Amino acid sequence: NAGVTQTPKFRVLKTGQSMTLLCAQDMNHEYMYWYRQDPGMGLRLIHYSVGEGTTAKGEVPDGYNVSRLKKQNFLLGLESAAPSQTSVYFCASSPKGDRPLGFGQGTRLTVV
Amino acid sequence: SQQGEEDPQALSIQEGENATMNCSYKTSINNLQWYRQNSGRGLVHLILIRSNEREKHSGRLRVTLDTSKKSSSLLITASRAADTASYFCATDGSGSARQLTFGSGTQLTVLP
């Protein structure tokens, strides 16, 4: 039982490049979330999903897209990376909306 | 926008002392959660307190919630060097996914 696994752990992108961050959970959780963490700002919600095939926007969705084709995976895409997207990205999951979140270890993304 | 705001932003204490962190929020909540983050790692859930609860204990942790003042406190008793981490409060939203909104955190340093 690995919990929540994020791939990759580190990445450097050039402005305008695209990439996909993968989040996988093996706990059969319905809810999955993508957050970004910037210095001094805590975590901000990008997108979330309440079940397979569903996605919804969070607080800071612009510049990102997500997909939840399989229950265990939640993908975060950057179509055209910008320096403002330099951040640490965390994926989280929970069995229900009012339960504690289990977090992945994070992906540190730098856009130059 | 961030719902929860922690105070102080940074706290440095000696091993064996108690550490108290406070969290204030703006709107009505269903529950409030505290998370811990070690440097370079993902967040780990510590404790959840529901809006109809006033106090909750877990090991050396004690959490209080005052809904009339829209505030919560986290007390760590008999602190250890291993408690050095950032601590975040998170409040749930009113949406169906009950997505959490995180504060900017308190950086706790416990000196040996």
pLDDT per residue as tens digits for the range A16-40: 999 999 999 999 999 999 999 998 7
Interface test with A, best of B3, B24, B37, B99 (most A CBs within 10 A): B99
Band (pLDDT 50/70/90 cuts) for residue A41 is: confident
Compute the distance between CA of residue A83 and CA of residue A85 in angstroms, rounded to an integer: 5
Per-residue pLDDT at A77: 98
The pLDDT of residue B2 is above 60:
no
Stretch A53-62: mean pLDDT: 94
Burial class (CB in 10 A: 0-12, 13-18, 19+), B10: exposed
Q: CB–CB of A42 and B42 under 8 A?
A: no
Tokens matching residue A79 = 């179509």
pLDDT in tens, B60-95: 999 999 999 999 999 999 999 999 999 999 998 665
The pLDDT of residue A103 is above 90:
yes
